Structure 1
Amino acid sequence: MDEVFDEWTIVKDTKAFMAQDKISHGYGEHFFENYREDTEMFIRRDRNHPSIVIWSVGNEVVEQISLDGHLIAKELVEICHNLDDTRPVTVGCDFIAAEPIGTYEEFLNAIDVVGYNYPDRWRERSATFYDIDKMKHPEWIFIGTETGGVRGGIRGEYTFEVPSLKKGETPLALLGKPAPYWLNQVTAERQIKYFMTRDFVAGDFMWTAIDHLGECRWPRVTAPVGLLDTCGFEKDNYWFYKSIWRKDEPFVYVLPHWSLNLEHGRIIPVIAYTSCEEVELFLNGKSYGVKSYEFPAYGRAITQFGMQKIKNYTTDDLHLSWDVPYEPGIIEVVGYIDGEEVARCVRKTVSEPVKLDISTYEEPKMQPDGMDIVQIEISALDKDGNFVPYADTNIHVDVEGAGTLLAFDNGDPRDSSGYRTNEKRLFNGRALLTIRSKQEAGVCTVSVTGTDMETQVLQIEVYE
């Protein structure tokens, strides 16, 4: 989906809009002067990209609840059709069933595909989603233009208490309080299960894949809502979606990590995401049982060859869960297909970090063009070589020779130290360096030193 505008003529700033403030300092100030030229240029620029399947001419524009908003929508759709009649046009609408006023039907009828942003926040639509509108408008084409996925949260951090409101707080206060990790996938599972069983919905765009700058509250400088943090490191929810989308690749993933600051014996949920048929959980060698899920669930069938093979599934959730008493040691999950082990994921209680590990995604080499880069992942290890998921070691980086330090990040949404620095701490055991080549051949030497740790050195070849 390729989006042209995020604002039309009415300002999006809530305070300014409610006060009818004419100064928005946004595109709305210049919309009528530029919308046609900008839309045409946008379509001409991108229409030969095969990855684009649908155009969007607006996202959460306020005109969806104005009496004449459909006129702008109709004109923008027409401009798109005149330059590209092979793709439909949508608008991401966030007021379709809102109260006290919702998106006008004239507006929705003006676009080819009705786009929904977060339909599950409208009363019973938390469960029914598009069903009501499908019955009322069977001719409509539906798509989720922006919906929430599994709560990304902050990589490596786990909350064990359900948030509650203090005296005098409104429900909005819950937005700033993290939910327990075992509740993170509830909303996303409800959405995915709906789409799995409704072929009249074209698809769904999830917000968002990667943590991003902005849309957050201090002291955060990034919004921790993605499957990946700003370093590109996977969070737990990454593995949830992989379990849905990659059934062809046997794997199993368990959370949380097992170096927790908890009292021994406390019962906590242990969650597994998997593409396997069955999963067995072990804690310090003791089995806590085999579990499995199926969705959609199929009924039994009797054919001329006999009864279909039927498994005893333990849940129709899209994840597996065990309640386990916490005790240090080793927790592991084993995935089975046809009774045979095909995957295993192990978490150990680790000791303090004593050394660093540095690695690159690809072979460490660059072109001497001043633009090529190498990314270096830094991890903290204990004395046995185990990854330490809580390490916050201070790191110093030196870069010499045919390269320069382009960026240094750790994925912490509360780290405001910037990216152009050679001093930063690990965040929950990890950090990422990005090295850029100079316009000269040679060798770039990167030295990474942690407090009270041996310096690790990586040499990057820079050549034609």
Structure 2
Amino acid sequence: MTAGSRPSEEHRRTRRLEQGWRFHRGDVENGEDPSLDDSEWEAVEVPHDWSIEGPWDPDNPGDQQQGFAPGGIGWYRRELPDDVDGEPTLRLDGVYRNFDVYVDGEHVGHRPYGYSTVTYDLDEFGVSGGETLAVRVDNDEYPHSRWYTGSGIYRNAYLIETDSVAITPFGTDVRTTAANGHRAEVQVLTEVENAESGAVDCALETDIVDEDGEIVATAGSETTVEPDEAHEFEQRLSVADPDRWTLNEPTRHFVRSVVYRDGEPVDDYVTPFGIRTFEWTSDQGFYLNGDPVTMKGVNLHHDAGCLGAAVPERALERRLETLQDIGCNAIRMSHNPPQPELLDLCDRMGFLVVDEAFDKWRHEGADEWFDEWWRRDLAAMIDRDRNHPSIVCWSVGNESYDQGDDSMLDDLAMLTEATAEMDPTRPVTYGAAPWGGDTAGMIAQLEDIGEHVDVLSCNYQEQWFEAFREAGLDKPIISSEAKPFFLGGEDEDIGFIAENPWFGVADNDFVAGQFIWSGIDYLGESREWPNKGWATGLIDTTGAPKPETGFHESVWSEEPMVQIAAFDQDRERPAGRPNWSWPAVSEHWTFPDRDGSRDFVHLVTFTNCETVELYRNGEWMGERELADTTDRMIEWYIPYEAGSLRAVGKEDGEVVAEHELETAGEPDRVELEADRETIAADGRDLVYVEATVTDDEGVRVPRADDEIRFSAAGAGEIVGVDNGDLDSNEPYVAESRSAYHGTCIAVVQADRDGGPLEITAEADGLDGDSVRVAVGADD
């Protein structure tokens, strides 16, 4: 075991069911029948999202909610491995939606909700190997979501084989009951089931292993488990001098649980966790390991632009890296359980998480299944996710349309009580919409909601925070959705007050933090055709921060920074909701219409430095102090002159940060840059290749819109193209894309053979470029 890696499991087998699937778009009579000839079906790999392939059309029934993407019905089939050994369990991490599972024509299970991880015991269906597994997916009924969902088996699928005496799926519950720098007390609850026809004497050995592979605590228990019953072991372990999980050093530990039968190990299961404590307070915000932490967070939906809803782990990691670079330290999973890989990354990289179960409960079509399924879907999230140290709060829902009504409060009580019963170690919340009508009405709604939640999650209510406290709402408060720039009005949530909602957090110690809506642009909740999605996030669908993100970096990041942005009313932007928008700003110094006119350009410098100096073509244009601003934005009016514009940030008179813009000439060539030089030959890893249209000096041409044609030769293939323009009618699954603000990307996925990979870009009238990436090893 290498440092930081997860211990291996030696007595159970977990196989990812990626390859060997056949797919048919549309319904099929007797699609579950093993004798059905599916040889002409499309060969696909899972995860798979058929909606992202299009066609995108204004007449698609998903309409604006789905970004005009198609839905429909689809069938997946494959044979199970021939060498199944032991008790087989099928695990599906996400199938959207309303799906049915069959084995050799026999119905195994059904699930309406598309975001739950589900497991099916296949032993009771006589599975021994080679059987036909079929999944019918019905994403044909609308409405069912307010954003793009994707369609199909869009998350990972696994076959897990264990002994007949084994730990149940997600059967460990690891709780740090106390921790400091000297000792941690850990309680481990482990459920072991016996599928035998007779009682079995078994023992459970539990080790806590650190990131260096050293066993730092151990415990053992014995019992008799009755046939077809499960027994929950409770064990308490003590870890001396533990490395605690923090945001800066997110150290993980691992619980390795080994089941013995007649003295022989028959099953083992590894659970990553983190040794940490946290506390939500009503007067001083949030504490992690006794230290105050302000949540600087964003809301994230589950799609990833051109990849749709089937998102490889590398795409998730890249998104989190970009967010971390601007100082983000918290994620609200809006508004459904995320794929497990995202939570693993939050654990490893150091993010705090609010994990959310549902959006609007009985609305958006859920009234047909909510009563029957809510408890199972809630339990699926909590059982799967409860050991992640990143998760510090459960959310049971968001903005129910009947918010404040007696029926809604009854549902809220039902959900929060069940959540506290399933996991008493974390607080429970609900994302409250600003629908009280005015200040008094909102206070009245939150008083009712506050009777059932531990944390008040307030969407777009920063203007009322002080009034909430004065009214006696003595609960921890979080700004669970915040607009990026505008503040709502005193007696309304829809306002255009240019007072950034961040100051509702910064100026009130009792507010634990904020989550911007949204962190990254997403598909769905569109404007009119051809708009495909929500375009007012901090980061666009290519993963590039927008110019205005510099403000959030300046108030979130501890690293010295300065960034120039020019107010640019000519900047092309996709359709968005105005009150979630920033004023139009651009990160360039190319205004040819003003050349020679000496017209002023209105600028802003975002910074966390004491002072900023500005130079135009080497000429000193002045110095400003951050302390003199009221909104952390230093504004300038600079006569335009082509050339360069440079901002210098200083602390105590010393230069600590710089940012320079240069005027671009005419488009001359396409320059390519890959985000990594080497990727894994696993059929899943990705390299993002950015194409930039530049002049002959290598300066990006900000209004270039040339069509870029990509090609990949060698150990990979192009799986998507994007440019961040959600108004574009170009397909995502393609090999060409128009530049937008001078750039676009191709996402290239590795094959499983490895070797050199070359990506090339060409455009009419421009010099092309290519980059090489090693797949599997350096070449």
TM-score by length of 2: 0.48
Q: Quick check: 1:113 aligned with 2:445?
A: no
Using the TM superposition, give the Cα deviation of residue 60 of structure 1 relative to its aligned residue in structure 2, in angstroms.
0.4
1:336–1:101 Cα change, 3 Å: closer
Q: Is this contact kept in 1: 2:457–2:479, CA < 8 A?
A: yes
Separation (CA, whole Å) in 2 of partners of 1:367 and 1:343: 35
**Match of 1:347, SS?**
strand
What is the match of residue 396 of structure 2?
57
**1:436 correspondence with 2:771:** no
SS of equivalent to 1:53: strand
Cα shift at 1:276: 1.4
**Deviations 1:360-392, CA, capped at 9 Å, x for gaps:** 1221x3333221211111112111222222221
Partners of 2:614 and 2:648 within 8 A in 1: yes
Aligned partner of 2:620 in structure 1 is 287
Q: Does the 8 A contact of 2:686 with 2:748 survive in 1? A: yes
Cross-structure match for 1:412: 725
- Secondary structure in structure 2 of the residue aligned to 1:225: coil
1:178-327 to 2 correspondences below 5 Å: 186-188=498-500, 191-218=501-528, 219-247=530-558, 249-256=559-566, 257-263=588-594, 264-294=597-627, 314-327=628-641
Distance apart, 1:412 and its partner CA: 1.1
Residue equivalent to 1:462: 775
Q: Is the 8 A contact 1:64 1:95 kept in 2?
A: no
Matched, 1:137 2:472: yes
Shift of 1:292: 1.2
Letter in 1 for 2:355: D
Alpha-carbon distance in structure 2 between the residues aligned to 1:421 and 1:58: 37
Counterparts of 1:196 and 1:210, CA distance in 2: 23
CA distance in 1, matches of 2:637, 2:776: 55
Amino acid at match of 1:392: D
How many Å separate the matches in 1 of 2:760 and 2:679? 17
State the secondary structure of the residue aligned to 2:753.
Answer: coil
SS at match of 1:236: coil
Distance, in Å, in 2 between the alignment partners of 1:104 and 1:35 is: 24
Displacement after TM superposition at 1:237 (Å) = 2.1
Alignment CA distance shift 1:441-1:195 (3 Å): closer
CA shift for structure 1 position 229: 0.7
Q: Is the 8 A contact 2:409 2:448 kept in 1?
A: yes
What letter is aligned with 2:625? S
Letter in 2 for 1:29: E
Contact 2:686 2:750 in 1 (8 A): yes
Q: CA deviation at 1:138?
A: 4.5
How far did 1:449 drift?
0.7
* Contact 2:667-2:694 within 8 A present in 1 as well: yes
The 1-side partners of 2:446 and 2:603 are apart by 46
Tell me the equivalent position of 1:7.
360
1:101 positional shift: 6.2
Going from structure 1 to structure 2, the CA distance change for 1:389 and 1:106 (only over 3 Å counts) comes to same
Equivalent pair of 1:396/1:449 in contact (CA under 8 Å): yes
Once residues 620 and 768 of structure 2 are traced to their aligned partners in structure 1, the CA distance between those partners, rounded to angstroms, is 41
**1:109–1:321 CA distance, 2 compared to 1 (3 A):** same
Question: In structure 2, how many angstroms separate the alpha carbons of the residues matched to 1:32 and 1:373?
Answer: 41
| Conserved 8 A contact 1:69-1:107 | no
Contact 2:715 2:750 in 1 (8 A): yes
Separation in 1, partners of 2:524, 2:593: 33
Contact map agreement 1:262 1:326 (CA 8 A) in 2: no
For 1:192 and 1:438, the matched residues in 2 are separated by: 44
Q: Could you tell me which amino acid in structure 1 is paired with residue 478 of structure 2? A: I
Determine if contact 2:611/2:623 at 8 Å carries over to the other structure: yes
Alpha-carbon distance in 2 for matches of 1:293, 1:459: 44
Query: What residue number does 2:652 align with?
Result: 338
Contact 1:211 1:228 (C-alpha < 8 Å) held by counterparts: yes
Q: SS state of the match for residue 502, structure 2?
A: helix
Q: Answer with 415-424 or 103-112: which moved more.
A: 103-112
CA distance in 1, matches of 2:668, 2:437: 55
**Cα separation, 1, equivalents of 2:713 and 2:446:** 61
Q: Is the 8 A contact 2:667 2:695 kept in 1?
A: yes
CA contact (8 A) 1:150 1:237 kept: no
C-alpha distance in structure 2 between counterparts of 1:413 and 1:197, whole Å: 35
Q: Within 5 Å, which residues of 2 pair with 1:36-115?
A: 36-95=375-434, 97-98=436-437, 102=442, 103=445, 105-115=447-457
The CA deviation string for residues 175-218 of structure 1, in whole angstroms up to 9 with x for no partner, is: 9xxx9xxx9xx342xx2223122111122111111111111213
Name the CA distance, whole Å, in 2 between partners of 1:3 and 1:30. 18
SS of aligned partner of 1:71 = helix
In 1, the alpha carbon distance for the partners of 2:772 and 2:560 equals: 36
Question: What is the one-letter code of the residue matched to 2:520?
Answer: I
- The amino acid across from 2:358 in the alignment is F
Q: Which runs of 5+ in 2 are unaligned?
A: 1-353, 487-492, 567-587
Aligned counterpart, 1:308: none
Structure 2 SS opposite 1:68: helix
Alpha-carbon deviations, 1:276-317, whole Å to 9, x = none?
1100112233333211123xxxxxxxxxxxxxxxxxxx2232
How has the CA–CA distance of structure 1 residues 98 and 261 changed in structure 2, closer, same or farther, with 3 Å as cutoff?
farther
Identity of counterpart residues, as a percentage? 31
Maintained 8 Å contact 1:65/1:101: no
Quick one: which amino acid aligns to residue 509 of structure 2?
D
- Contact conserved, 1:288 with 1:322, CA < 8 A, in 2? no
* CA contact 1:95–1:101 (8 Å) conserved in 2: no
Letter in 1 for 2:481: E
In the alignment, is the contact (CA less than 8 A) between 2:400 and 2:408 conserved in 1?
no
Deviation of residue 135 (structure 1)?
A: 1.3
Give a deviation string over 1:57-116, Cα, whole Å, max 9, x none. 110012322123222111211111111111111111113532596536323321111111
1:217-269: CA deviations, max 9, x gaps? 1332122211111011121122211111223x222110122112543233332
CA shift digits 1:401-420 (9 cap, x unpaired): 22111111111121121211
Report if the CA contact (8 A) 2:404-2:448 is conserved. Answer: no
Distance of aligned partners of 1:342 and 1:388 in 2 relative to their CA distance in 1, 3 Å threshold: same
Aligned CA RMSD, in angstroms, stands at 2.4
How many residue pairs get aligned? The number is 392
Query: What is the correspondence of 1:369-388 to structure 2 with a 5 Å cutoff?
Result: 369-388=682-701
Give the distance between the partners of 1:66 and 1:342, measured in 2 at CA: 54
> Which residues in structure 2 correspond to 1:344-363 (within 5 Å)?
344-363=658-677
Q: Structure 1: any 5+ residue segments left out of the alignment?
A: 12-23, 152-171, 295-313
- Distance (whole Å) between structure 2 residues aligned to residue 244 and residue 138 of structure 1: 27
Question: Residue 28 and residue 266 in structure 1: after superposition, are their counterparts in 2 closer, same or farther (change >3 A)?
Answer: farther
Could you list the structure 1 runs, at least 4 aligned residues long, displaced by more than 6 angstroms after superposition: none
Distance 2:485 2:526 in 1: 18
Q: Which has the larger radius of gyration?
A: 2
Deviation for aligned residue 1:139 = 2.2
Aligned to 2:575: none
More strand by share: 2
Q: Give me the whole-angstrom Cα distance separating, in 2, the residues matched to 1:374 and 1:83.
A: 40
The AA in structure 1 aligned to 2:451 is: N
* C-alpha distance in structure 1 between counterparts of 2:504 and 2:603, whole Å: 25
Contact 1:67 1:104 in 2 (8 A): no
Q: CA offset at residue 351 of structure 1?
A: 0.4
Read off the aligned partner of 1:278 and give its amino acid letter: T
Shift of 1:141: 2.0
